Amino acid sequence: MAVIKCPNCGAETEPTSAGILSVCPQCQHDLRDEAEKQMREARKERAKTIARDDSVTTHEYIVRTKGLKKEYRMGEEIVHALRGVDLDVRRGEYLSIMGPSGSGKSTLFNMVGGLDKPSSGTCFIEEVDMAQLDAFELAWLRCRKLGYIFQTFNLIPVMTALENVTLPMIFAGMSTDEMMDRGRELLDLVGLGERLHHKPYELSGGQQQRVAVARSLANAPAIILADEPTGNLDLQTGREIIDLLKELNMESGVTIISATHDLKMIDVSDRVVHIRDGQVERVEKRADLKLEIGTMGEH
Amino acid sequence: MDVKKLAQLASEGQAGTEIQKLIALPWADAFRISLRNVTLRIGRAAITAAGIILGIAFLMSVLTSKVAQEGIDRSEANKFSHSVETIQSVDQGTPESKKEADDAKAQRAGKQDWLVVMSLLVCGVGITNSMLMSVTERFREIGTMKCLGALDGFIVRLFLIESALLGFIGSIVGVLIGHLFILLSVCIKSGFSTPAKMDWKEMGFYILISLVVGTLLSLLAAIIPARAAARMPAAAALSTEV
């Protein structure tokens, strides 16, 4: 991390190796806000660069798949859900996976999310081969590095909104006080501060999905995986969720991978991967898409 | 909605170099979640518990009537020995006939033991079935928990705590029902002085045994369904339609 300039006395200080610097050694001014601001700026800048620039170095790929294949046995028949998918996802990217139902996009989503094992091929998350992980490491990865959002919200029905959001924090070993504070704050920020103790069935679809978004952020993941997040929502609410995800992506630089066939998603995606018959049909960049949408509008 | 703040919160911890390598489900939290599952799915819980209540009530009724019968026999024997001292002439059966009566009693007790074991087995199968159903209807929930970072062991733990709770509560109710019912019927049949003749130390021991048997039975019955649920791959668990 870069040096932090004290807004009070102007002294520039190098943060400690852990990246923590709370007070200015010169004038004892509280530097936490300043440090956070700088960190955010840096991340935002990086996200913008990634969105613009194609020439990012290879280690900036957060997810890579190589020759991913998945076969299911359905009675006598063998169904090829994926027939060798090579996909690289950049850090901080907003990627949409599109395709008709049965195209294998949910299967791909499951592989990337570590929910299912491929028949052959490899999937790397942050240079770690998922196939090499044991159950404990996989759980750790899901808990700390990945956040999931589902079409059917998948909140735990017997738990309140707050308990749903704090559940991943329990798994992560957070202390109760810290957990409650963070949970409250997250829910407050998605606009559900008044409904902390409501059960999922007492919330509307949009509200449930917002609880799910808050839950996916519980342990500050590097990647948010969203499987048809707008599939069960009306247009307006779907739009809100998409905007929320996009802004999160822009502000915090979290990578978002979303399986969808919602066309509204195209607007906000950096890249769109089209899947057909278990293969990548084509990859579109946002710039090209904008052009397409523009020409369509002129008819 | 303050997305800027949210984003900041979302990225907290990402920058930290210190990685806490820990996945945990403390017992207190597990207990709280399980208790919630029992109280909020009270209908399902009641059905599972009913199996235990019936089984334990039967076990308890057999044990209570045994203790009561022993108490009555003992007081009869005391009375008899007193009367033997006063009326010497009365001949109350030869040693052979006494042995025969003992044999018949032992046979009856054996049959009763067999019945108790059978009823507990049937009750165990019932609980397994009920737990299997309750696990099946929660596949999606299990898949979600796995996505959030739950280990297989957490899922098993949650279900085992739940079934132990149900087993314990069901056993208490079963003990109460079986005990009070038999006590009442004995009182009506042999007079209300019977409870005083009973060996309450022995009775207390049997009550404890019944509670332990009920809880263990329910726990054992839940192991297979819980393990099956926990071993399911997350993707498969999530995509189940129930």
SS (H, E, C) chain B: CCHHHHHHHHHCCCCCCCCCCCCCCCHHHHHHHHHHHHHHCHHHHHHHHHHHHHHHHHHHHHHHHHHHHHHHHHHHHHHHHHHHHHCCCCCCCCHHHHHHHHHHHHHHHHHHHHHHHHHHHHHHHHHHHHHHHHHHCCHHHHHHHHHCCCCHHHHHHHHHHHHHHHHHHHHHHHHHHHHHHHHHHHHHHHCCCHHHHCCHHHHHHHHHHHHHHHHHHHHHHHHHHHHHHHHCCHHHHHHCCC
Confidence at B25, pLDDT banded by 50, 70, 90: confident
**Which of B36, B143, B238 shows the shortest C-beta gap to A158?**
B36
pLDDT (0 to 100) of residue B79 = 77
Is there a contact between A167 and B20 if contact means CB atoms under 8 Å apart?
no
Distance from CA of A217 to the nearest CA of B (A): 5
- Pick the residue with more confidence: B18 or A249? A249
Q: In this structure, how many other beta carbons lie within 10 angstroms of the beta carbon of residue B21?
A: 9
> Which of residues B217 and A15 earns the better pLDDT score?
B217
| Residues ≥6 apart with Cβ < 8 Å to B80 | B92
Q: Are A256 and A268 in contact (CB under 8 A)?
A: no
Portion 245-274 of A in contact with B at CB < 8 A: 247-248, 250-254
Look at residue A61 in the predicted model and tell me its pLDDT: 86
User: Cβ contacts (< 8 Å) between A148 and chain B: which residues?
Assistant: 144, 147-148
Q: What is the value of ipTM here, to two decimals?
A: 0.74
Which residues, including other chains, have CB under 8 Å from residue A46's CB and lie 6 or more apart? A91, A92, A253
Confidence of residue A284 (pLDDT cuts 50, 70, 90): confident
Residue B210 has pLDDT above 80, yes or no: yes
Residue of chain B nearest A107, judged by CA positions: B235
Has residue A99 got a pLDDT over 70? yes
Structure tokens at A176: 């109760």
Q: Is the pLDDT of residue B21 over 70?
A: no
Q: What percent of chain A has pLDDT over 90?
A: 21
pLDDT on residue A257: 92
For residue A110, what is the nearest residue in chain B, using CA coordinates? Answer: B235
The per-residue pLDDT for B4 is: 66
Q: Is the pLDDT assigned to residue A77 strictly greater than 50?
A: yes
> Two tokens at B176?
């109460």
Q: Which residue among B17, B22, B235 sits closest to A19, beta carbon to beta carbon? A: B17
The single-letter DSSP state of residue A254 is: -
Minimum Cα–Cα distance from A40: chain B residue: B8
If phi over 0 gives left and psi between -120 and 50 gives alpha, with beta otherwise, what is residue A31? alpha
Q: Is A75 on the interface with B (CB under 8 A)?
A: no
Percent of chain B scoring above 70 in pLDDT: 83
Token pair for residue B238?
A: 């999530």
- Is residue B167 within 8 A of residue B216, CB to CB? The reply is yes
**How many whole angstroms separate alpha carbon A210 and alpha carbon A213?**
5
Instruction: Select from B5, B21, B234 the Cβ nearest to the Cβ of A140.
Output: B21
Least Cα distance to A173 among B26, B28, B30, B154 occurs for B26
What is the pLDDT confidence band of residue A105, given thresholds at 50, 70 and 90?
A: confident
Q: How confident is the model at residue A207 (pLDDT cuts 50, 70, 90)?
A: very high
Is the pLDDT score of A211 beyond 90? yes
Q: Is the CB of A251 less than 8 angstroms away from the CB of B4?
A: yes
Least trusted range by pLDDT, from A42-56, A169-183, A222-236? A42-56
For residue A13, pLDDT over 60 is answered with: yes
Is B6 within 8 Å of chain A by CB? yes
CB contact under 8 A, A40 and B40: no
Mean pLDDT of chain A: 82
Whether pLDDT at A72 is above 80: yes
Contact A215/B at CB under 8 A: yes
A271-276 and A94-98 as β-strands: parallel, antiparallel, unpaired?
A: parallel
pLDDT of amino acid B80: 73
Tell which wins on pLDDT, B22 or A280. A280
In this predicted structure, the answer to whether residue B57 has a pLDDT above a threshold of 70 is yes
Give the model confidence (pLDDT) of B67-76 as tens digits: 888 888 888 8
What distances in angstroms separate CA A286 from CA A39, A72, A251, one per listed residue?
27, 34, 18
A window 132-171, beta carbon within 8 A of B: 135-136, 139-140, 142-144, 146, 148, 150, 152, 154-159, 167-168, 170-171
pLDDT of residue A148: 93
SS3 A117: coil
pLDDT > 80? residue A275: yes
Burial of B107 (0-12, 13-18, 19+ CB in 10 A): exposed
pLDDT averaged over chain B?
Answer: 82
pLDDT above 70 (res A294): no
pLDDT band at B235 (very low <50, low <70, confident <90, very high): confident
**Which of B1, B18, B134, B147 has the most A C-beta neighbours within 10 Å, making it the best mutation to test the interface with A?**
B147
Strand partners, A71: A80
Surface-to-core class of residue B190, CB atoms within 10 Å of its CB (0-12 exposed, 13-18 middle, 19+ buried): middle
pLDDT at residue B95, rounded to an integer: 63
Which two tokens mark B37? Answer: 């599952």
Query: How much is the pLDDT for A5?
Result: 73
Q: Is the pLDDT of residue A54 over 60?
A: no
State residue A30's pLDDT score: 72
3 state SS of A150:
coil
> Using CA atoms, how far apart are residues B123 and B129, in angstroms rounded to an integer?
10
Mean pLDDT in residue range B47-74: 89
A115 touches chain B (CB under 8 A): yes
Q: Of B37, B235, B236, which has the smallest distance from its Cβ to A158's Cβ? A: B37
pLDDT at A231: 86
Q: Given a cut of 90, is residue B173 above it in pLDDT?
A: yes
pLDDT value at residue B112:
81
Q: Which residues of B touch A222 (CB under 8 A)?
A: 14
Residue A171 CA to residue A16 CA, distance in Å, equals 29
State whether A43 and B144 contact (CB < 8 Å).
no
Name the more confident of A19 and B167: B167
CB A98 within 8 A of CB A109: no
The label of the residue with tokens 């991943």 reads A168
- A220 → closest Cβ in B4, B11, B18: B11
The larger pLDDT score, comparing residue A268 to residue A39, is at: A268
- State mean pLDDT over A133-141: 87
Q: B235 to chain A: nearest residue by CA? A: A115
Reply yes or no on whether the pLDDT at A292 is more than 70. no
Report angle CA A156, A164, B37 to the nearest 5 degrees: 45
Chain A contact present for B227, CB below 8 A: no
Q: Which of these ranges, A3-12, A72-81, A277-286, has the smallest mean pLDDT? A: A3-12
Question: Given pLDDT bands bounded at 50, 70 and 90, which one contains residue A43?
Answer: low
Confidence of residue A130 (pLDDT cuts 50, 70, 90): confident
pLDDT band for position A19 (cuts 50, 70, 90): very low
Neighbouring residues of B161: CB distance < 8 A, sequence distance ≥ 6? B30, B31, B34
Q: Is the pLDDT of residue B3 over 80?
A: no
pLDDT at A293 over 60: no
pLDDT digit string, tens, across residues A155-196:
999 899 999 999 999 998 888 898 999 999 999 888 898 999
